[in-house]
């Protein structure tokens, strides 16, 4: 039986080494994401024979990440199927990219059913475009930034130990403003953001914030995902401050992320407004991440 446990900070270096070697652009292959969402999604990880394995639940339904690591992938997937069977489950792999799907079919022909999972596709952007915002397709973004800058005195700052508490206070204010007390999903998000801020240094996060007349009105943070891609985990701004979301994205990439070719801004979760917002930034690619379910009666 595979030895799954809730991730702890001591697991970061080992997990990073395996994930970075795998060089996957999907945001799920990022220790910081696993750690800050571990409570909400009941995330557990296991290290086995050169692989890091991830088991989690969505609405109490169990999933496994497609395995990342070096070694015998046929054997490790068989062990994952056996582990699932011990819990009375059929192996269900999540975040299966097209490349993974092809590999899985080559390893186990006609053993898995692929199910489209559009709500979990990643939006990935060209960093140079997010910095320069040139052309007609970014006309509205430039206007948003211009309007924000006309409101009052503003400044961009890197997130440091000295201003982390200001971000925590803003997260609490945002939570109250958006009714977290009556929304389980927003309350869980609040806890994940607080966890990210409380463990900012230990998780190796990079972040930035915007002050308007001295008050923090937006902040964002994330970490290196793979060799050419940064993953933005968190982005918060007050909705009544026009242009705040636009300027924090632009300033953060400009000041901190120009060395990365791409920025992964994660999924839209099937939320119509969020999908529209992510599409409005003109993604360079939308990374498919589907589900692969072991067919009924299939033996690996």
pLDDT of residue 181: 84
68 within 8 A of 29, measured Cβ to Cβ: yes
266 within 8 A of 123, measured Cβ to Cβ: yes
pLDDT of residue 189: 95
CA dihedral 254, 257, 259, 262 (to 10 degrees): -110
102: helix, strand or coil: helix
pLDDT tens across 272-288, in order? 999 999 999 999 999 99
- Residue written as tokens 């070697």? 21
Domains of the chain plus CATH, in order, are: 9-120+288-294 (3.40.630.30), 122-266 (3.40.630.30)
Tell me the CA distances in angstroms from 164 to 8, 168, 215, 230, one per residue in order.
Answer: 21, 6, 13, 21
Is the per-residue pLDDT at 1 higher than 80?
A: no
pLDDT tens across 234-258, in order? 999 999 999 999 999 999 999 999 9
pLDDT tens across 43-91, in order? 999 999 999 999 999 989 999 999 999 999 999 999 999 999 999 999 9
pLDDT of residue 109: 98
Tokens standing for residue 95? 């975040």
**How many beta carbons lie within 10 A of that of residue 129, not counting itself?**
18
Tokens standing for residue 109? 């022909």
Concatenating the DSSP letter of every residue in 104-130 gives HHHHSTT-EEEE--GGGPEEEEEHHHH
Average pLDDT, the chain: 97
| pTM reported for the whole predicted model | 0.96
- Count the alpha carbons within 13 Å of 107 in the hemisphere toward its beta carbon: 18
Concatenating the DSSP letter of every residue in 16-80 gives HHHHHHHT--STTS-HHHHHHTTTTTT-EEEEETTEEEEEEEETTEEEEEPPEESS-HHHHHHHH
pLDDT of residue 244: 98
236: helix, strand or coil: strand
Tokens standing for residue 293? 């379910």
16 within 8 A of 32, measured Cβ to Cβ: no
Tokens standing for residue 17? 């080494």
């Amino acid at each position: 039986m595979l030895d799954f446990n809730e991730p702890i900070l001591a697991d970061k270096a080992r997990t990073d080494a395996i994930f970075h070697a795998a060089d996957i652009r999907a945001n799920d292959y990022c220790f910081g994401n696993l750690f800050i969402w571990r409570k909400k999604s009941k995330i557990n990880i296991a290290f086995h024979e050169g692989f890091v394995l991830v088991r989690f639940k969505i609405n109490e339904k169990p999933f496994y990440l497609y395995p990342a690591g070096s070694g015998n992938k046929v054997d490790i997937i068989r062990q994952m199927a056996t582990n699932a069977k011990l819990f009375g489950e059929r192996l269900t792999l999540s975040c299966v990219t097209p490349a993974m799907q092809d590999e899985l079919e080559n390893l186990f022909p006609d053993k898995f059913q692929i199910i489209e999972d559009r709500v979990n596709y990643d939006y990935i952007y060209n960093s140079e475009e997010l910095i320069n915002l040139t052309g007609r397709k970014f006309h509205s973004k430039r206007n948003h930034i211009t309007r924000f800058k006309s409101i009052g005195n503003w400044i961009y700052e890197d997130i440091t130990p000295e201003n982390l508490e200001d971000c925590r206070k803003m997260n609490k204010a945002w939570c109250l403003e958006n009714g977290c007390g009556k929304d389980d999903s927003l309350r869980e998000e609040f806890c994940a953001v607080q966890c990210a801020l409380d463990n900012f240094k230990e998780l190796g996060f990079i972040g930035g914030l915007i002050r308007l007349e001295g008050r923090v009105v937006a902040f964002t943070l994330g970490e290196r995902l793979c060799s050419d891609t940064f993953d933005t985990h968190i982005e918060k701004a007050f909705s009544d401050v026009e242009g705040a979301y636009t300027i924090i994205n632009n300033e953060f990439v400009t000041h901190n992320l120009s060395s990365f070719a791409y920025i992964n801004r994660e999924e839209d979760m099937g939320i119509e407004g969020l999908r529209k917002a992510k599409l409005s930034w003109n993604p360079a690619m939308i990374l498919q991440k589907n589900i692969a379910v072991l067919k009924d009666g299939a033996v690996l």
